[in-house]
Amino acid sequence: MDWLVNHGRFSTLARWGNDFCEFVYKNFPKWNLWFTSSYDLQEAGGNAIHEIAFTIAIRNEMIREMMRRGIDINTIGSRLSPVLGVNRDFFEEIAKIRAARRIWARTMKEEFGATDEKALCLRFHVDVSGANFTRQQPLVNIARGAIGTLAAVLAGSMGIQTPSFDEGWATPTEEAVRLAIRTQQVIRYESGAARVADPLAGSYYVESLTSQLEGRIEEMVQQIEKAGGWIKALESGWIHGQLTEGLLDIQKKVESGERPVIGVTHFQIPPEEDFKPEVYAPDTSDVEEYLREYKQFKEKRSYRNLKEKIKNLQGAAADPGKNLIPYVFEALEADATFPEIIGVMRMNDGLEYDWAGERDFPF
Protein backbone atom coordinates (compact mmCIF):
# COMPACT_ATOMS: atom_id res chain seq x y z
CA MET A 1 0.00 0.00 0.00
CA ASP A 2 3.02 2.33 0.37
CA TRP A 3 2.83 3.19 -3.33
CA LEU A 4 -0.55 4.92 -2.79
CA VAL A 5 -0.57 6.47 0.65
CA ASN A 6 2.27 7.64 2.85
CA HIS A 7 1.76 8.90 6.41
CA GLY A 8 -1.83 10.03 5.89
CA ARG A 9 -1.30 11.75 2.53
CA PHE A 10 -1.08 10.78 -1.08
CA SER A 11 2.24 9.12 -1.82
CA THR A 12 4.36 10.78 -4.47
CA LEU A 13 3.32 8.13 -6.99
CA ALA A 14 -0.37 8.74 -6.23
CA ARG A 15 0.23 12.49 -6.36
CA TRP A 16 1.83 11.96 -9.77
CA GLY A 17 -1.44 10.36 -10.86
CA ASN A 18 -3.45 13.34 -9.63
CA ASP A 19 -0.99 15.75 -11.24
CA PHE A 20 -1.40 13.86 -14.50
CA CYS A 21 -5.20 14.14 -14.30
CA GLU A 22 -4.98 17.87 -13.61
CA PHE A 23 -2.51 18.36 -16.46
CA VAL A 24 -4.73 16.47 -18.90
CA TYR A 25 -7.85 18.38 -17.87
CA LYS A 26 -6.10 21.72 -18.31
CA ASN A 27 -4.02 21.01 -21.42
CA PHE A 28 -5.62 18.19 -23.46
CA PRO A 29 -9.33 18.97 -23.92
CA LYS A 30 -10.03 15.95 -26.12
CA TRP A 31 -8.52 13.34 -23.78
CA ASN A 32 -10.67 11.16 -21.56
CA LEU A 33 -9.23 9.84 -18.31
CA TRP A 34 -9.30 6.18 -17.33
CA PHE A 35 -9.00 6.96 -13.65
CA THR A 36 -9.21 3.44 -12.23
CA SER A 37 -9.55 -0.21 -13.21
CA SER A 38 -12.03 -2.09 -11.07
CA TYR A 39 -11.13 -5.17 -13.10
CA ASP A 40 -8.00 -5.33 -10.96
CA LEU A 41 -10.11 -5.07 -7.80
CA GLN A 42 -12.32 -7.88 -9.08
CA GLU A 43 -9.42 -10.20 -9.77
CA ALA A 44 -7.95 -9.34 -6.35
CA GLY A 45 -11.03 -10.89 -4.74
CA GLY A 46 -13.71 -8.22 -5.01
CA ASN A 47 -17.30 -9.21 -5.70
CA ALA A 48 -19.79 -7.19 -7.73
CA ILE A 49 -20.59 -4.92 -4.78
CA HIS A 50 -16.95 -4.32 -3.91
CA GLU A 51 -16.07 -3.56 -7.50
CA ILE A 52 -18.60 -0.78 -8.05
CA ALA A 53 -18.50 0.60 -4.49
CA PHE A 54 -14.72 0.89 -4.60
CA THR A 55 -14.87 2.50 -8.06
CA ILE A 56 -17.33 5.13 -6.81
CA ALA A 57 -15.23 5.76 -3.69
CA ILE A 58 -12.08 6.22 -5.79
CA ARG A 59 -14.01 8.53 -8.12
CA ASN A 60 -15.21 10.62 -5.17
CA GLU A 61 -11.66 11.02 -3.88
CA MET A 62 -10.39 11.97 -7.31
CA ILE A 63 -13.22 14.46 -7.99
CA ARG A 64 -12.66 16.25 -4.69
CA GLU A 65 -8.96 16.56 -5.43
CA MET A 66 -9.58 17.91 -8.94
CA MET A 67 -12.19 20.40 -7.66
CA ARG A 68 -9.70 21.51 -5.01
CA ARG A 69 -7.34 22.25 -7.89
CA GLY A 70 -9.93 24.48 -9.52
CA ILE A 71 -11.40 22.20 -12.19
CA ASP A 72 -15.15 22.44 -12.86
CA ILE A 73 -17.24 19.38 -12.04
CA ASN A 74 -18.79 19.30 -15.51
CA THR A 75 -15.32 19.21 -17.07
CA ILE A 76 -14.28 16.44 -14.68
CA GLY A 77 -17.37 14.31 -15.12
CA SER A 78 -17.65 14.59 -18.89
CA ARG A 79 -14.16 13.15 -19.40
CA LEU A 80 -13.98 10.51 -16.68
CA SER A 81 -14.05 6.80 -17.53
CA PRO A 82 -13.38 3.68 -15.44
CA VAL A 83 -12.44 0.22 -16.61
CA LEU A 84 -14.90 -2.33 -15.25
CA GLY A 85 -14.62 -6.09 -15.13
CA VAL A 86 -17.14 -8.69 -16.25
CA ASN A 87 -16.99 -11.90 -14.27
CA ARG A 88 -18.81 -15.23 -14.69
CA ASP A 89 -22.32 -14.50 -13.35
CA PHE A 90 -24.07 -13.31 -16.51
CA PHE A 91 -27.08 -11.48 -15.07
CA GLU A 92 -25.31 -10.20 -11.97
CA GLU A 93 -22.60 -8.58 -14.08
CA ILE A 94 -25.18 -6.83 -16.26
CA ALA A 95 -27.21 -5.71 -13.24
CA LYS A 96 -24.04 -4.53 -11.48
CA ILE A 97 -23.20 -2.19 -14.34
CA ARG A 98 -26.80 -0.98 -14.64
CA ALA A 99 -26.70 -0.16 -10.92
CA ALA A 100 -23.40 1.65 -11.41
CA ARG A 101 -24.95 3.86 -14.08
CA ARG A 102 -27.79 4.83 -11.76
CA ILE A 103 -25.49 5.63 -8.84
CA TRP A 104 -23.01 7.46 -11.03
CA ALA A 105 -25.60 9.83 -12.52
CA ARG A 106 -27.41 10.49 -9.25
CA THR A 107 -24.30 11.19 -7.18
CA MET A 108 -22.65 13.33 -9.85
CA LYS A 109 -25.75 15.54 -9.82
CA GLU A 110 -26.76 15.50 -6.15
CA GLU A 111 -23.39 15.29 -4.39
CA PHE A 112 -21.12 17.22 -6.74
CA GLY A 113 -23.55 19.53 -8.56
CA ALA A 114 -22.93 18.41 -12.13
CA THR A 115 -25.43 19.80 -14.64
CA ASP A 116 -24.02 18.72 -18.01
CA GLU A 117 -25.64 15.49 -19.23
CA LYS A 118 -22.23 14.26 -20.40
CA ALA A 119 -20.97 14.57 -16.83
CA LEU A 120 -23.83 12.37 -15.61
CA CYS A 121 -23.12 9.61 -18.12
CA LEU A 122 -21.01 6.62 -17.07
CA ARG A 123 -18.70 5.88 -19.98
CA PHE A 124 -16.73 2.74 -19.37
CA HIS A 125 -14.58 0.03 -20.90
CA VAL A 126 -14.90 -3.63 -19.91
CA ASP A 127 -12.21 -6.24 -19.45
CA VAL A 128 -13.77 -9.70 -19.54
CA SER A 129 -12.30 -11.73 -16.69
CA GLY A 130 -9.24 -13.71 -17.67
CA ALA A 131 -9.04 -15.23 -14.18
CA ASN A 132 -11.87 -17.57 -15.14
CA PHE A 133 -9.93 -18.97 -18.08
CA THR A 134 -8.53 -22.39 -17.25
CA ARG A 135 -5.53 -24.37 -18.37
CA GLN A 136 -7.63 -27.54 -18.43
CA GLN A 137 -9.85 -27.93 -21.52
CA PRO A 138 -8.77 -24.51 -22.83
CA LEU A 139 -11.25 -24.51 -25.71
CA VAL A 140 -14.01 -24.07 -23.12
CA ASN A 141 -12.50 -20.62 -22.56
CA ILE A 142 -13.89 -19.60 -25.95
CA ALA A 143 -17.40 -20.04 -24.55
CA ARG A 144 -16.46 -18.18 -21.37
CA GLY A 145 -15.12 -15.29 -23.42
CA ALA A 146 -18.20 -15.14 -25.64
CA ILE A 147 -20.62 -15.11 -22.69
CA GLY A 148 -18.62 -12.43 -20.89
CA THR A 149 -18.40 -10.31 -24.02
CA LEU A 150 -22.15 -10.60 -24.60
CA ALA A 151 -22.79 -9.52 -21.00
CA ALA A 152 -20.60 -6.46 -21.54
CA VAL A 153 -22.48 -5.57 -24.73
CA LEU A 154 -25.88 -5.94 -23.07
CA ALA A 155 -24.67 -3.77 -20.18
CA GLY A 156 -23.74 -0.98 -22.59
CA SER A 157 -19.95 -1.10 -22.63
CA MET A 158 -18.22 1.31 -24.97
CA GLY A 159 -15.14 -0.86 -25.38
CA ILE A 160 -14.37 -4.49 -24.57
CA GLN A 161 -11.25 -6.60 -24.12
CA THR A 162 -11.94 -10.30 -24.59
CA PRO A 163 -9.19 -12.62 -23.30
CA SER A 164 -7.71 -15.21 -25.63
CA PHE A 165 -8.54 -18.84 -24.93
CA ASP A 166 -4.90 -19.87 -24.42
CA GLU A 167 -4.06 -17.33 -21.71
CA GLY A 168 -4.00 -20.12 -19.13
CA TRP A 169 -0.97 -21.49 -20.97
CA ALA A 170 1.15 -18.55 -22.07
CA THR A 171 1.12 -15.25 -23.90
CA PRO A 172 -1.62 -15.65 -26.54
CA THR A 173 -0.74 -16.66 -30.06
CA GLU A 174 -1.79 -14.47 -32.96
CA GLU A 175 -4.49 -17.00 -33.91
CA ALA A 176 -5.95 -16.97 -30.39
CA VAL A 177 -6.03 -13.17 -30.33
CA ARG A 178 -7.75 -13.11 -33.71
CA LEU A 179 -10.41 -15.52 -32.43
CA ALA A 180 -11.07 -13.25 -29.44
CA ILE A 181 -11.55 -10.31 -31.80
CA ARG A 182 -13.83 -12.37 -34.06
CA THR A 183 -15.92 -13.24 -30.99
CA GLN A 184 -16.59 -9.54 -30.49
CA GLN A 185 -17.29 -9.03 -34.18
CA VAL A 186 -19.83 -11.86 -34.35
CA ILE A 187 -21.71 -10.33 -31.43
CA ARG A 188 -21.45 -6.84 -32.92
CA TYR A 189 -22.26 -7.54 -36.56
CA GLU A 190 -24.16 -10.83 -36.66
CA SER A 191 -26.15 -11.22 -33.45
CA GLY A 192 -27.96 -7.89 -33.30
CA ALA A 193 -27.24 -7.69 -29.56
CA ALA A 194 -25.76 -4.20 -29.91
CA ARG A 195 -28.68 -2.86 -31.92
CA VAL A 196 -30.38 -1.17 -28.96
CA ALA A 197 -29.23 0.33 -25.67
CA ASP A 198 -30.11 -1.52 -22.46
CA PRO A 199 -32.11 -4.32 -24.16
CA LEU A 200 -32.77 -6.12 -20.85
CA ALA A 201 -34.55 -3.12 -19.32
CA GLY A 202 -38.00 -4.11 -18.09
CA SER A 203 -37.08 -7.68 -17.27
CA TYR A 204 -38.43 -8.35 -13.77
CA TYR A 205 -35.36 -10.36 -12.79
CA VAL A 206 -32.84 -7.87 -14.18
CA GLU A 207 -34.61 -4.83 -12.73
CA SER A 208 -34.99 -6.50 -9.33
CA LEU A 209 -31.36 -7.60 -9.26
CA THR A 210 -30.23 -4.14 -10.36
CA SER A 211 -32.13 -2.49 -7.50
CA GLN A 212 -30.80 -5.00 -4.96
CA LEU A 213 -27.21 -4.42 -6.02
CA GLU A 214 -27.73 -0.66 -6.16
CA GLY A 215 -28.82 -0.60 -2.53
CA ARG A 216 -25.94 -2.75 -1.32
CA ILE A 217 -23.38 -0.80 -3.34
CA GLU A 218 -24.64 2.49 -1.91
CA GLU A 219 -24.41 1.07 1.61
CA MET A 220 -20.76 0.16 1.08
CA VAL A 221 -19.95 3.54 -0.47
CA GLN A 222 -21.46 5.26 2.57
CA GLN A 223 -19.47 2.97 4.85
CA ILE A 224 -16.26 4.05 3.11
CA GLU A 225 -17.25 7.73 3.18
CA LYS A 226 -18.04 7.58 6.91
CA ALA A 227 -14.63 6.01 7.49
CA GLY A 228 -13.03 9.09 5.93
CA GLY A 229 -12.97 8.13 2.26
CA TRP A 230 -11.00 5.79 0.06
CA ILE A 231 -7.54 6.72 1.30
CA LYS A 232 -8.48 6.27 4.96
CA ALA A 233 -10.15 2.94 4.17
CA LEU A 234 -6.95 1.83 2.46
CA GLU A 235 -4.73 2.95 5.30
CA SER A 236 -6.84 1.14 7.88
CA GLY A 237 -6.42 -2.14 6.00
CA TRP A 238 -10.16 -2.52 5.56
CA ILE A 239 -10.01 -2.59 1.74
CA HIS A 240 -7.26 -5.20 1.75
CA GLY A 241 -9.21 -7.26 4.26
CA GLN A 242 -12.33 -7.22 2.11
CA LEU A 243 -10.41 -8.38 -0.96
CA THR A 244 -8.53 -11.08 0.96
CA GLU A 245 -11.77 -12.45 2.40
CA GLY A 246 -13.24 -12.41 -1.10
CA LEU A 247 -10.38 -14.45 -2.52
CA LEU A 248 -10.61 -17.00 0.27
CA ASP A 249 -14.37 -17.27 -0.19
CA ILE A 250 -13.98 -17.91 -3.92
CA GLN A 251 -11.35 -20.60 -3.34
CA LYS A 252 -13.45 -22.32 -0.68
CA LYS A 253 -16.45 -22.40 -3.00
CA VAL A 254 -14.36 -23.81 -5.84
CA GLU A 255 -12.88 -26.53 -3.64
CA SER A 256 -16.28 -27.46 -2.19
CA GLY A 257 -17.90 -27.61 -5.62
CA GLU A 258 -20.32 -24.79 -4.82
CA ARG A 259 -18.62 -22.72 -7.53
CA PRO A 260 -18.30 -25.09 -10.51
CA VAL A 261 -15.37 -24.68 -12.86
CA ILE A 262 -15.99 -26.74 -15.98
CA GLY A 263 -13.03 -28.94 -16.79
CA VAL A 264 -11.49 -28.42 -13.35
CA THR A 265 -14.05 -29.34 -10.69
CA HIS A 266 -16.74 -30.69 -13.02
CA PHE A 267 -16.66 -32.71 -16.24
CA GLN A 268 -12.94 -33.43 -16.11
CA ILE A 269 -11.20 -35.55 -18.71
CA PRO A 270 -7.86 -37.39 -18.48
CA PRO A 271 -4.89 -35.12 -19.23
CA GLU A 272 -3.85 -37.29 -22.16
CA GLU A 273 -7.23 -36.60 -23.82
CA ASP A 274 -7.13 -32.86 -23.25
CA PHE A 275 -6.51 -30.36 -26.03
CA LYS A 276 -3.07 -28.78 -25.90
CA PRO A 277 -2.88 -25.43 -27.68
CA GLU A 278 0.11 -24.16 -29.55
CA VAL A 279 2.19 -22.27 -27.00
CA TYR A 280 3.59 -18.91 -27.98
CA ALA A 281 7.38 -18.79 -27.90
CA PRO A 282 9.15 -15.47 -28.49
CA ASP A 283 12.03 -15.32 -30.91
CA THR A 284 15.10 -15.10 -28.69
CA SER A 285 16.89 -13.07 -31.34
CA ASP A 286 14.23 -10.35 -30.92
CA VAL A 287 14.89 -10.25 -27.19
CA GLU A 288 18.64 -10.08 -27.71
CA GLU A 289 18.25 -7.29 -30.27
CA TYR A 290 16.04 -5.32 -27.89
CA LEU A 291 18.58 -5.64 -25.08
CA ARG A 292 21.38 -4.48 -27.39
CA GLU A 293 19.36 -1.46 -28.50
CA TYR A 294 18.41 -0.65 -24.92
CA LYS A 295 22.04 -0.77 -23.82
CA GLN A 296 23.06 1.48 -26.71
CA PHE A 297 20.24 3.88 -25.88
CA LYS A 298 21.50 4.28 -22.31
CA GLU A 299 25.13 4.62 -23.40
CA LYS A 300 24.34 7.42 -25.88
CA ARG A 301 22.41 9.55 -23.39
CA SER A 302 23.88 12.84 -22.20
CA TYR A 303 24.49 11.93 -18.58
CA ARG A 304 24.99 15.57 -17.55
CA ASN A 305 21.66 16.67 -19.06
CA LEU A 306 19.85 13.62 -17.73
CA LYS A 307 21.24 14.14 -14.22
CA GLU A 308 20.12 17.78 -14.27
CA LYS A 309 16.56 16.84 -15.24
CA ILE A 310 16.42 14.05 -12.66
CA LYS A 311 17.58 16.50 -9.97
CA ASN A 312 14.89 18.96 -11.10
CA LEU A 313 12.32 16.18 -10.78
CA GLN A 314 13.61 15.39 -7.30
CA GLY A 315 13.16 19.03 -6.31
CA ALA A 316 9.63 19.11 -7.68
CA ALA A 317 8.76 15.88 -5.89
CA ALA A 318 9.88 17.45 -2.62
CA ASP A 319 7.59 20.46 -3.20
CA PRO A 320 3.90 19.46 -2.82
CA GLY A 321 2.86 22.71 -4.50
CA LYS A 322 4.39 21.78 -7.85
CA ASN A 323 2.77 19.72 -10.58
CA LEU A 324 5.15 16.88 -11.40
CA ILE A 325 4.13 16.37 -15.03
CA PRO A 326 6.23 19.13 -16.69
CA TYR A 327 9.28 17.81 -14.81
CA VAL A 328 8.50 14.24 -15.85
CA PHE A 329 8.24 15.40 -19.48
CA GLU A 330 11.63 17.13 -19.20
CA ALA A 331 13.18 13.96 -17.79
CA LEU A 332 11.69 11.89 -20.59
CA GLU A 333 13.01 14.32 -23.19
CA ALA A 334 16.43 13.82 -21.60
CA ASP A 335 15.98 10.06 -22.19
CA ALA A 336 15.16 9.07 -18.62
CA THR A 337 13.66 5.61 -18.37
CA PHE A 338 10.40 4.80 -16.62
CA PRO A 339 12.14 2.94 -13.74
CA GLU A 340 14.42 5.93 -13.19
CA ILE A 341 11.45 8.27 -12.86
CA ILE A 342 9.57 5.86 -10.60
CA GLY A 343 12.69 5.52 -8.48
CA VAL A 344 12.74 9.26 -7.81
CA MET A 345 9.10 9.11 -6.69
CA ARG A 346 9.81 6.18 -4.39
CA MET A 347 12.81 7.87 -2.80
CA ASN A 348 10.72 10.95 -2.01
CA ASP A 349 8.56 8.72 0.19
CA GLY A 350 11.52 7.18 1.96
CA LEU A 351 11.41 3.95 -0.03
CA GLU A 352 14.21 2.17 -1.87
CA TYR A 353 15.02 3.53 -5.33
CA ASP A 354 14.42 0.10 -6.86
CA TRP A 355 11.38 -1.81 -5.60
CA ALA A 356 13.30 -5.08 -6.01
CA GLY A 357 16.35 -3.74 -4.19
CA GLU A 358 18.65 -4.73 -7.06
CA ARG A 359 19.86 -1.30 -8.21
CA ASP A 360 21.17 1.80 -6.48
CA PHE A 361 20.25 5.36 -7.40
CA PRO A 362 22.62 6.18 -10.31
CA PHE A 363 22.49 9.97 -10.14
- Banded pLDDT at 8 (limits 50, 70, 90): very low
Q: Which residues contact 206 (CB under 8 A, 6 or more apart)?
A: 91, 94, 95, 98, 200
Task: Give percent above pLDDT 70 in the chain.
Answer: 97
6 neighbors 349 (Cβ within 8 angstroms): yes
From 255, 233, 232, 231, select the one nearest 242 (Cα to Cα).
233
Task: Quick: pLDDT tens for 24-60.
Answer: 999 999 999 988 899 999 999 999 999 999 999 999 9
> How many helices and strands (H and E) does the chain possess?
15, 6
CA distance 173 to 59: 36
Q: What is the mean pLDDT of the chain?
A: 94
Q: Are 114 and 120 in contact (CB under 8 A)?
A: yes
The confidence band for 3, taking pLDDT boundaries of 50, 70 and 90, is very low
| Per-residue pLDDT at 10 | 61
Confidence at residue 7, expressed as pLDDT on a 0 to 100 scale: 47
List CB contacts of 183: < 8 A, sequence separation 6 or more.
142, 145, 146, 149, 162
Give the per-residue pLDDT at 1.
42
Q: What does the pLDDT read at residue 281?
A: 86
Q: Where do the structural domains in the chain lie, given as residue ranges?
A: 32-273, 285-348
Q: Beta strands of 61-138 (E only): which ranges?
A: 80-86, 125-128
Dist. CA 165–CA 129, nearest whole Å: 12
Give the model confidence (pLDDT) of 179-231 as tens digits.
Answer: 999 999 999 999 999 999 999 999 999 999 999 999 999 999 999 999 999 98
**CATH superfamily to which 32-273 belongs:** Methylmalonyl-CoA mutase (3.20.20.240)
Q: What is the pLDDT of residues 266-321, one digit of tens each?
A: 999 999 999 999 999 888 898 999 999 999 999 999 999 999 999 999 999 999 99
Cα atoms in the Cβ-side hemisphere of radius 13 Å centred on 32: 16
Length of the chain: 363
Question: What is the Cα–Cα distance from 68 to 7, expressed in whole angstroms?
Answer: 21
Examine the pLDDT at 9 and tell me if it is beyond 70: no
Rounded mean pLDDT of 134-149?
Answer: 98
